[in-house]
Structure 1
Amino acid sequence: MHTSSITRRTMLSLAAALLAGTVPALAAAEPASWLDPTTGRRIVRVDDRPGNYGLYFNYNPFTPQGDLMIYLSGEGIHVADTKTWKTRLVLPGQVDRLLFAGPKTRSAYYTLRDAAVEEGGPSSVWSVDLDTGKTRKITDLPGGRVMAINADETLLAGVWETSPPPPEIARQGRRDPVTGSPAYAGVDKDGKPLSFAAAKGQWMAARLAARVPMEMYSVAIATGERKSIHRATDWLNHLKFSPTDPTQLMFCHEGPWHQVDRIWTIRVDGTQLTKVHTRTMAGEIAGHEFWGRDGKTVWYDLQTPRGGVTWLTGRNLATGEQWRYEVARDQASYHFMQSPDGRMFSGDGGNAGKWISLLRPVMRETPVPGLITPGRLESIRVADLSKQDYTLEPNQHFTPDGKWLVYRANVEGKPAIYAVELPEVPVLR
């Protein structure tokens, strides 16, 4: 049976079979593929069914072996084979939020929420075995979101608002279940409708100013025990564990980037709260932070000042060593990510340059201890996104073998998940 032909009755039957641990195997779907006419690279359309949703750029979608990628559709949780890009449905039914794949086990983590409960309200956290379909409840949450899983797969981490934000702020922060984007809207001082980007900025400023009390917490995967890590009226967001240190957590103070000291780390016991980047210029912004593959370096988008020179910046938390690679205007991206071998970066583009690209770092100076090492980025364009509406963020991911970039796009008129095959790139010497 092709998964797109599953009826409601069939889905209910499958859900019952899942609970009994007897889910039948579903036939894999054959993906369409072609060569990008601009770049010549092979593109695979992994899935374009309604409600398809790929994970945010810094959430891991791959099994530890790298053979499967998890994603969501209106039918439930799917996996795609990263060699053939054939897909199958693992968990039929409505899922509140697909979180990430386990770093040690062949599991996907997700949340369920009663239909009558608004986003951000009480929910439950579950895992599903990607091979058997067997599910396990981990814990109930009073509200908020789980955002991270640690390197040894013993802890989850999340945040919740211990007091609700003003209703209008809460309403605009809710995400559309199909696009994954909040429905930002607003008017200027003359009553004229704002663009999506301007409305988002207006909303973020209002949310920051509300000073909503929040708590960051951990959940033990084995027992479901929840512990407080940190409380604040700063807007806490973007939690991400180090990929190598199971006790170190990175998070951000969310808000308009020029108004916040954004990037921080903390230990799961609440100690060693540390600011990663200190602004030195009026209007300077830093954000969209992510861990390097070594688990010691934090990378982020730095602008000095906003709208000025853009840098892809790395800071080794252990040694203090820093790198700044200048980002050309047509290399600017919503998100950057580092390749599995640490040699390259990727960018998902923006309105100034609509591409999925490989970005090769080139140092301009010999490193000097105690000084920032400057450099630039060489672009290798792999997928043409000239028809992309960037209200849908591509959120690209390298496959663990480094041979593909997976991204989400609306270049064919509707959201879909794609994979582009990458070229061999020589190492610079």
Structure 2
Amino acid sequence: MNWMDCMSPATRRSALSVLLVLGAASVGAVPAVPASWTDSSTGRRIVRVDDSPGVYALYFNYNPFTPQGDLMIYLTREGIRVADTRTWQTRLVLKASVDRLLFAGPKSRSAYYTTRDAAVEEGGPSTVWSVDLDTGKTRRVADLPGGRVMAINADETLLAGVWETSPPPPEIARQGRRDPVTGSPAYAGVDADGKPLTFAQAKGRWMAARLAARVPMEMYSVSTATGERKSIHRATDWLNHLKFSPTDPTLLMFCHEGPWHEVDRIWTIRTDGSQLTKVHTRTMAGEIAGHEFWGRDGKTIWYDLQTPRGGVTWLTGRNLATGEQWRYEVARDQASYHFMQSPDGQMFSGDGGNAGKWISLLRPVLREKPVPGLITPGRLESVRVADLAKHDYTLEPNQHFTPDGKWLVYRANVEGRPVIYAAELAPTAAVAPSR
């Protein structure tokens, strides 16, 4: 006899109804296992993390992971979600209308984001919030007069951002706006014959016009504890791409934005406005340097260098403390929109381009023994991870190593729509390096 046999028929029917409801709720609460397969070109396991309409993953040098490495944040039209980096199952943390998802906290299990009134244009006043990724509890951090927050420091005490203290010309402002969910810009135009410009041509024309406008700007810090805002630096240079050192909470990297062959792009500054320092000086007509990012040591800045543009390409590193420099030659099919260093500092990743559509691991190999005071030359060996043959690079993949170094996460449209994928770095089949 079981326990239900002791009940009256009416009570038994009631109990069955409760069990059915609880069972349905339980089934609904179990996250779906994400689809996965083996990439036939690389032998690596690929997981489709999320293909929700408008799904958005963070820019390549914005941290999406909790300090413990177990959760990754991303954005959908519904709100902020997290993916479990062990299972790639996802859940909604915050159902809200989010202006921008910024980054995960380097110390706390939280995500930072901004909201703004629907009537306020992009770049106008906004509010910075944080949300606890375990409880969903939110905290108002600061109200901002305009611009956008771009960085958080190593001890999570300061945010940093920029804003245009005077507005740019309306047409420049319009084309510079990005969709807050998809990240897609509005670059467009026609040539002298009235023919539509390509995406790259329109972007180049817009960047030149924005640089020439010499719009007044301010770089500022915001206390995460009190919301107090302080000015760091004012200029009519186009200030962009702020990023704190991952180990030094007062050292901030930023760029002078614009057509790369017209600007000395990469700079550092202290949060009190002191020690404004140019990292790389151009020495060749047409030379470009950009897409800079911090090495894992928090002392080395890595960047894409071309001497000149379209010529020899190097993945270049400069240690700010010792002055050491490395230049790894990048082969044509290794050229990438973005590079990133692995958590152990031993490898790099590349997200490819039209000459080589791959998510790849790149192993640095020295050509010469290091000599004090001289640049150390080298090359890169490729290990292909994911085939992006069908990808349209107007959507940047923005790949990220998971903190344990076992996966590369990226966004691609190889299935005809933006999707977040994770590629496992331990191969499921023996695959030799391609170079």
- TM-score, scaled to structure 2: 0.91
Query: How far apart, in 2, do the equivalents of 1:165 and 1:140 lie?
Result: 22
Residue type of the alignment partner of 1:209: A
Q: What is the deviation of 1:423?
A: 2.8
User: Is 1:286–2:289 an aligned residue pair?
Assistant: yes
The one of 42, 45, 53 equivalent to 1:42 is 45
Query: How far apart, in 2, do the equivalents of 1:337 and 1:28 lie?
Result: 31
The one of 107, 112, 117 equivalent to 1:114 is 117
Query: How far apart, in 1, do the equivalents of 2:131 and 2:33 lie?
Result: 24
Runs of 4+ with deviation above 6 angstroms: none
Residue type of the alignment partner of 1:199: A
Query: How far apart, in 2, do the equivalents of 1:178 and 1:231 lie?
Result: 29
Query: 1:339-391 CA distances to partner (integer Å, 9 max, x unpaired)?
Result: 00000000000000000000000000000000000000000001000000000
Residue type of the alignment partner of 1:266: I
Residue type of the alignment partner of 1:95: V
Contact 1:51 1:177 in 2 (8 A): no
User: Is 1:221–2:235 an aligned residue pair?
Assistant: no
Q: What is the deviation of 1:189?
A: 1.8
Higher radius of gyration, 1 or 2: 2
Task: State the superposition RMSD in angstroms.
Answer: 1.2
Counting only pairs closer than 5 Å after superposition, residues 183-262 of structure 1 correspond to structure 2 as 183-262=186-265
Q: For residue 385 of structure 2, what is the aligned residue in structure 1?
A: 382
Unpaired runs of at least 5, structure 2: 1-27
Q: For residue 320 of structure 2, what is the aligned residue in structure 1?
A: 317
For residue 61 of structure 1, give the secondary structure of its aligned residue in structure 2.
Answer: coil
Contact 2:100 2:180 in 1 (8 A): no
Q: For residue 6 of structure 1, what is the aligned residue in structure 2?
A: none
Q: What is the deviation of 1:176?
A: 2.2
**Identity between Structure 1 and Structure 2 (%):** 88
The one of 54, 57, 67 equivalent to 1:54 is 57
Residue type of the alignment partner of 1:322: Q
Query: How far apart, in 1, do the equivalents of 2:31 and 2:266 lie?
Result: 41
Q: For residue 155 of structure 1, what is the aligned residue in structure 2?
A: 158
Query: How far apart, in 1, do the equivalents of 2:422 and 2:268 lie?
Result: 32
Query: How far apart, in 2, do the equivalents of 1:181 and 1:380 lie?
Result: 29
The one of 83, 90, 103 equivalent to 2:93 is 90
Q: What is the deviation of 1:94?
A: 1.0
Counting only pairs closer than 5 Å after superposition, residues 294-373 of structure 1 correspond to structure 2 as 294-373=297-376
User: Is 1:77–2:66 an aligned residue pair?
Assistant: no
Q: For residue 5 of structure 1, what is the aligned residue in structure 2?
A: none
Contact 2:257 2:265 in 1 (8 A): yes
Query: How far apart, in 1, do the equivalents of 2:185 and 2:311 lie?
Result: 27
Contact 2:100 2:181 in 1 (8 A): no
For residue 371 of structure 1, give the secondary structure of its aligned residue in structure 2.
Answer: coil
Contact 2:75 2:181 in 1 (8 A): no
For residue 290 of structure 1, give the secondary structure of its aligned residue in structure 2.
Answer: strand
Unpaired runs of at least 5, structure 1: 1-24
For residue 112 of structure 2, give the secondary structure of its aligned residue in structure 1.
Answer: strand
Q: For residue 280 of structure 2, what is the aligned residue in structure 1?
A: 277
Query: How far apart, in 1, do the equivalents of 2:410 and 2:294 lie?
Result: 19
331-340 or 190-199: bigger deviation: 190-199
Residue type of the alignment partner of 2:98: V
Q: What is the deviation of 1:27?
A: 4.5
- TM-score, scaled to structure 1: 0.92
Query: 1:254-291 CA distances to partner (integer Å, 9 max, x unpaired)?
Result: 00000001000000000000000011100000000000
Q: What is the deviation of 1:181?
A: 1.6
User: Is 1:268–2:271 an aligned residue pair?
Assistant: yes
Residue type of the alignment partner of 2:87: T
Query: How far apart, in 2, do the equivalents of 1:144 and 1:26 lie?
Result: 39
Instruction: Evaluate the alpha carbon distance shift between residue 182 and residue 128 of structure 1 in structure 2; reply closer, same or farther with a 3 A threshold.
Output: same
User: Is 1:101–2:134 an aligned residue pair?
Assistant: no
Q: What is the deviation of 1:191?
A: 1.6
Q: For residue 20 of structure 1, what is the aligned residue in structure 2?
A: none
For residue 201 of structure 2, give the secondary structure of its aligned residue in structure 1.
Answer: helix
